[in-house]
Amino acid sequence: MTGFMSNKLSKKTLLAILAFLALSTAHAQYSEIFEHYKEKHPDAMVVRLNQETNLFIDVQNGNLDIVQKNKEENLYLNDAATQDSQQSLDFSTFFELSEIEASAFNFSDNKYREEKVSEFTEKDEMGESFYDDTKSVNFIYSNLKKGSKSQLSYEQKIKNPRFLIPFYFGDFSPIANNKFSITADASVKLKFRQFNTEGLPIQFTKEEKRGKIIYTWELKDVDAFDYEARATTYKNVLPHIVPIIASYEVNGNTVSVLNETKDLYSWYYSLVKDINKEPADPELITLTNSLTKDLKSDLDKVKAIYYWTQKNIKYIAFEYALGGFIPREANTVFKKKYGDCKDNSSILYKMLEIAGLKGHLTWIGTRSIPYKYDEVPAPIVDNHMILSYYDGDDLYFLDATGRNTPITHPSSFIQGKEALIAIDEDNYRIATVPIIPASQNTVKDLTYLKIDGDLLVGNSIIEISGYNKSDYLYALGDLNTKRERDNFYNSLFQKGNNKFIASAITETNKEDYDAPAITSFDFSIGDYMKQYGDQIFVNLNLNKYLSRYRTDDDRKRDIEFDYKSLYTFKTEFRIPEGYTIDYLPESLKLENDYLKTAINYTSKEDKIIYEHRIECDFLVLDKEQQKEVNALIKDVEKAYKEVITLKKIN
């Protein structure tokens, strides 16, 4: 008995020891720092342990020498680490890369073992319709896996003092330590603009040492920022600093760089002042004269030139060195029939000049850039060029890179933005691009509906204007086969359910920039109408359009829309012979500061007339505004379930 019990206990002890050893071995697979951050950020794929940028600005031989040194260290918290094995760094004419060092660290035998990256390859970065001088250095971290670390350091020589790089304290992964420092000669005057840093415990220090001033910002333990679809630009979310060199001194003289907007404008103007000095191509003159012949008003002449350019000059972006800032000659653009935004503005400028009209080259940032010229007078404030035209007191913003856009509408992505308009070498104006009201971006749907057997059949005439028209025609332009177009129409114009089938489609005004596009078609809808005994039930809410504007209740970020819109749906439903109205839903009218909508039911002779109006008066909705809009939409969605009831006459 004693021997048996002793043997049994020894087996239990052995099993316990083996379990302990197995547990110890399992834990030993990962470092203490991994266990710490895995517990702290259980949902993160990676934690940036350190993110450090040190910028050095020296005055040498009357010019600025600028070098930026960067370091980063990442810790990978799950098996998705392999996705980060391939890395690249970009460089271009303005940013020269050097001193690149990269290593992976894998944990084994209770310590990290370094595997240095030995192979770096260089390649051009070219898209299908975007060509620039950006190149990349590509490399691979060896054997990255859960628990691994990576370290990267490199230098950038910034060749133009106007192109300092913003420093972001946050990212869409957690960051344990941020450090940004600038060491500059005391004669260099700097400006700093901080964005989205309110309430963050950023530690800032400034010290002078041996003729240098050292500015340092540090921030620790920054949680990951959430990414959500259709959110406004990350520049509106991530905390960051934009450094700007205002001026520097050489031999007692002050050299202005970007102290204020006029400095940025002076540099911009120096890049464009010598374009289009050569005589216009005779063919371009002939074309311009033919376009404007017999047109009486200057604005009509501008329209003719503008619309021709939209249709005939293909957009291809070129960003080679200063080619990213200097437009090409109008004659060159005319011969090649393609160009970037600056080139489109160049040929527009020249054609207006041929017609005896004055256009103004204009720099502007898209809505992806949230800065204003007075707060960030640097090239990062804008990324686009258009042409402005004054017709008396009216100002038009002409962007020929767009397609099917009427002269009354600036490109949707510059609505509300500041435009820097060139007047002459010493003078400029800043104007704000208008936000086009919903009433100018409309979809008007007039439908005639009746019952045919067990189907609903009808005809629709749809007028589409403004940005809605531009998007509609742009989408149509990408369709090459009848099947693709049929699928597009059945999806876009769908009514009732997915058994909607459109036919006999006709389109007018597609080429008329100033008139709504009109599309008409016949259609049928199966399995939609319900008939029980002597009653027929039909839901006339064929287009539950408003629901697409409802956002998730747990959304955390703003949501952005391309433009404001107005939708009107009118359906005339013919009451079948031998039936009368048994139930007609009540009308509904709701509105708040951002959304107005109404549903009305009326009857007239043998018809029921259904009308639904939706006015979306917003471009961006913050979280609280989304709640208001959602609440209104939910009330409307209840009304969307209402059906009319018809009863057979005895």
DSSP 154-167: EEEEE-STT-PPPE
Question: Residue 601 in contact with residue 610, Cβ under 8 Å?
Answer: yes
Amino acid at 5: M
Q: pTM (2 decimals)? A: 0.90
Predicted local distance difference test score (pLDDT) of residue 315: 86
Predicted local distance difference test score (pLDDT) of residue 322: 58
Distances from the Cα of 362 to the Cα of 359, 384, 387, angstroms: 9, 8, 5
Residue 598 forms beta bridges with which residues?
589, 613
Give the torsion through C-alpha atoms of 8, 10, 12, 16, to 10 deg: 180
Angle between helices 282-292 and 341-354 (to 10 degrees): 70
Predicted local distance difference test score (pLDDT) of residue 10: 54
Predicted local distance difference test score (pLDDT) of residue 597: 98
CB atoms within 10 A of CB 76: 25
Cβ-based neighbours of 630, under 8 Å, separated by 6 or more: 550, 551, 553
pLDDT digits (tens, 9 = 90+) for 65-118: 999 999 999 999 999 999 999 999 988 888 999 999 999 999 999 999 999 999
Report the pLDDT averaged over residues 313-330: 77
β pairing state of 455-464 and 500-508: unpaired
Report whether pLDDT(482) > 70. yes
β pairing state of 428-432 and 418-422: antiparallel
| Rounded Cα distance, 273 and 160, in Å | 20
Predicted local distance difference test score (pLDDT) of residue 125: 60
The band of 4, judged by pLDDT with boundaries at 50, 70 and 90, is very low
Predicted local distance difference test score (pLDDT) of residue 323: 57
Report whether pLDDT(2) > 50. no
Helix (H, G, I), strand (E, B) or coil at 2: helix
| Rounded Cα distance, 170 and 223, in Å | 8
Q: Tokens 């002078």 identify what position?
A: 208
The band of 212, judged by pLDDT with boundaries at 50, 70 and 90, is very high
| Rounded Cα distance, 202 and 583, in Å | 65
Report whether pLDDT(27) > 70. no
* Token pair of 367 as six digits: 């809505």
Residues in the chain, total = 650
Question: Residue 339 in contact with residue 346, Cβ under 8 Å?
Answer: yes
Report the pLDDT averaged over residues 390-401: 96
Predicted local distance difference test score (pLDDT) of residue 174: 97
pLDDT digits (tens, 9 = 90+) for 619-646: 999 999 999 999 999 999 999 999 999 9
Predicted local distance difference test score (pLDDT) of residue 302: 98
β pairing state of 130-132 and 317-319: parallel
Secondary structure (H, E, C), 74-85? EEECCHHHHHHC
| Rounded Cα distance, 427 and 268, in Å | 12
| Rounded Cα distance, 357 and 302, in Å | 8
Predicted local distance difference test score (pLDDT) of residue 123: 84
| Rounded Cα distance, 542 and 643, in Å | 11
CB-side neighbour CA atoms (13 Å) of 20? 6
Residue 430 forms beta bridges with which residues?
420
DSSP 3-state helix, strand, coil percentages of the chain (rounded to 5)? 25, 40, 35
- How buried is residue 142: exposed, middle or buried, by Cβ count under 10 Å (0-12/13-18/19+)? middle
| Rounded Cα distance, 156 and 151, in Å | 17
Among the residue ranges 258-272, 318-332, 349-363, the one predicted with the least confidence is 318-332
Report whether pLDDT(405) > 80. yes
Distances from the Cα of 293 to the Cα of 283, 330, 443, 505, angstroms: 15, 21, 34, 36
pLDDT digits (tens, 9 = 90+) for 545-576: 999 999 999 999 999 999 999 999 999 999 99
Question: Residue 62 in contact with residue 254, Cβ under 8 Å?
Answer: no
DSSP 279: P
Report the pLDDT averaged over residues 604-608: 95
Helix (H, G, I), strand (E, B) or coil at 640: helix
Predicted local distance difference test score (pLDDT) of residue 144: 94
In degrees, rounded to 5, the angle at the alpha carbon of residue 255 between the alpha carbons of residues 217 and 205 is 15
Question: Residue 613 in contact with residue 536, Cβ under 8 Å?
Answer: no
Report the pLDDT averaged over residues 405-420: 97
- Nearest of 452, 624, 629, 465 to residue 546 by alpha carbon: 629
Predicted local distance difference test score (pLDDT) of residue 320: 54
| Rounded Cα distance, 74 and 84, in Å | 10
* Token pair of 532 as six digits: 């029980």
